[in-house]
Amino acid sequence: MDRIRIVGGNELHGVIPISGAKNAALPLMIASLLTDDTLTLENVPHLADVEQLIRILGNHGADISVNGRRERQGESYARTIHFTSRNIVSTTAPYELVSKMRASFWVIGPLLAREGKARVSLPGGCAIGTRPVDLFIDGLTALGANIEIDGGYVNATAPAGGLVGGRYVFPKISVGATHVLMMAATLANGTTVLGNAAREPEVVDLAKCLNAMGAKITGQGTSTITVEGVPSLSGARHRVLPDRIETGTYAMAVAMTGGDVILEDTDASLLETALEAIRRTGAEISETNSGIRIVRNGAGIKPVDIVTDPFPGFPTDLQAQFMGLMTKSSGVSHITETIFENRFMHVQELARLGAKISLSGQTAKVEGVSRLKGAPVMATDLRASVSLVIAGLAAEGETMVSRVYHLDRGFERLEEKLTRCGAHVERVSD
């Protein structure tokens, strides 16, 4: 099993190309099930989750072809993938596939809308909270679906004439449920209004793609999304937006180590709250023609308190990384997690590097230390794994991160990108 070996102490200098967003690519790929025409997606990252979803879509009958497989395009690798779901050969998403990645449950929306039925295993693939499917079930029921849970599967059927437009107000904001209901509503009869909807850039990106396919969606980016159903959707060509989580992660890495790095092919407007928090730590951040420049000239890291919130708040997917940064601040910071109840599993691993962190409910108190020391650590989930990398970059000596398959789910070519900026990071295969 692969591990990541880091020898800390080097500043970062250079250019890091930002990949397409995993959290945008996955729902866009699933949207291909809504049409029998070809959906072409550009800037798709090469990640384990993307490859798993390709297998799942193939199970439903999608024909998938890939251009640009590891093809060099300037300084980055990006792929163009063509999805053609002309014939849906199965409306069942089996446990052995869905259990490996939670987002694969989202196929329930397009399958139900297009085929009138879906049998989808209850999801797995995540260790950071329960994240129940109640919102998906209640929302689809509001569109006329009849849903039963039996034997670990969600069995959904639409009325004889197909799903019908309706109104559904999310009791809590859910990005995944917003994706699913928005997709399902595109082919429903009548108009659907989604209240308290997620406002994340990935939701906006999906709506942009669906509209290019012929959907009639308005209000994306606000808390109320309106979808006027259409009889069918066509193919389209769409470019996946930049990964704001990867952008914030590398920005925090530079703030941690010091240095001067250009983050290319990204957009500051996707993560303004996170960038403002990084600025408050003492780093300088400016926009450039090609992306974002981040500089820290060796001054100490100032402590900053954050609270995770749905967009446009501080992203929960950057909480672990920010905690890694705060371990070497010049004072005490408080990090409050409001989205997922189990998202502090990285605390005990950061402590192995010398971090001083205490927990009280959903708040972590981080007392900055003057030095971290390398140690063997273990990744517990995707974002926790990269928080250990950030801490390891600033730790004295060697840090060995195991279970890096978590890392491979969401960060494309991390070792290569960091190494090219002067970090000592390598993948070690046992």
Helix or strand or coil: residue 273?
A: helix
Nearest to 357 by CA among 369, 343, 374, 373: 369
Neighbouring CB atoms inside 10 A of 96's CB total 9
Structure-token match 């801490």, residue found: 391
Give which of 381, 325, 399 is closest to 357, Cα–Cα.
325
Measured CA to CA, the distance from residue 353 to residue 367 in angstroms comes to 13
Peptide bond just before 312 cis, omega within 30 deg: yes
Question: Which distant-in-sequence residues (6+ apart) come within 8 Å of 290 by Cβ?
Answer: 262, 264, 265
Which of the following is catalytic: 48, 88, 122, 126? 126
Would residue 126 show up in a list of annotated catalytic residues for this protein? yes
Side-chain half-sphere of 407: how many Cα atoms within 13 Å? 23
Residue among 427, 423, 334, 430 nearest 14 (CA)? 423
Cβ burial 155-166 (10 Å sphere, 16+ → b, else e):
ebbbeeebbbbb
Helix/strand/coil percent split, the chain, to 5? 35, 30, 35
As given in the structure block, the two tokens for residue 151 are 């034997």
Please give the DSSP secondary-structure letter assigned to residue 265. S
Catalytic amino acids? Answer: 126
